[in-house]
């Protein structure tokens, strides 16, 4: 298989992985909010959301993560010089943090499947934005490979984070009114 095909598959599975991460936490938010409903609506909605979460997690999110990693390793096998690039070390560290984020999402998923819902919808909204921050940081590091641009990317990363927190607070105020 050509390097371009391997890169294309890597990118396709990265996109699928992030889509799964974005949507699973959104389903967690709806699930947490369903707990505020009266019976039997609460149970009906919760059962449907648990079903949707299982399908999303086991059919899309986890396989996409594993395939992202497999095609990434394949790229290193084909292009070992990438491991010497400074920007790649930054990307790999962000990837490790993203895998930790994924593992925490898996733990939340298992708790929600057992009806142990301890997260509020507001906490989950903040948690959801963390995946966005990882995506922004990883894309900037990959696209801006020199050290000067890493500094700008890091500042942009934190700027996006602050902007997202402000947006969540404004949304919450808007939603209450």
Does 176 belong to an annotated binding site?
no
Alpha carbon distance 51, 126 (integer Å): 24
Distances (CA, A) of 89 to 9, 21, 157: 21, 23, 17
**What residues contact 43, with CB distance under 8 A and at least 6 apart?**
none
Does 91 belong to an annotated binding site?
yes
**What residues contact 100, with CB distance under 8 A and at least 6 apart?**
none
Q: Residue 108 in contact with residue 26, Cβ under 8 Å?
A: no
Q: Residue 78 in contact with residue 42, Cβ under 8 Å?
A: no
Binding site membership for heme: which residues?
Answer: 10, 91
Binding site membership: which residues?
Answer: 10, 91
């Amino acid at each position: 298989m050509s390097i371009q095909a391997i890169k294309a598959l890597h990118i396709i599975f990265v996109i699928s992985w992030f889509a799964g991460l974005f949507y699973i936490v959104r389903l967690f938010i709806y699930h947490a909010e369903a707990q505020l409903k009266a019976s039997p609506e609460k149970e009906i909605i919760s059962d449907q959301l648990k079903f949707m979460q299982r399908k999303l997690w086991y059919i899309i999110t986890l396989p996409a993560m594993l395939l992202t990693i497999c095609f990434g390793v394949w790229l290193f096998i084909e292009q070992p010089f990438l491991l010497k690039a400074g920007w790649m070390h930054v990307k790999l560290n962000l990837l490790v943090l993203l895998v930790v984020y994924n593992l925490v999402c898996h733990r939340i998923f298992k708790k929600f499947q057992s009806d142990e819902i301890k997260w509020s919808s507001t906490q989950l909204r903040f948690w959801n934005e963390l995946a966005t921050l990882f995506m922004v940081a990883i894309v900037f590091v990959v696209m801006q490979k020199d050290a000067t641009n890493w500094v700008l990317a890091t500042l942009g990363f934190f700027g996006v984070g602050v902007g997202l927190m402000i947006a969540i607070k404004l949304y919450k105020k808007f939603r209450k009114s």
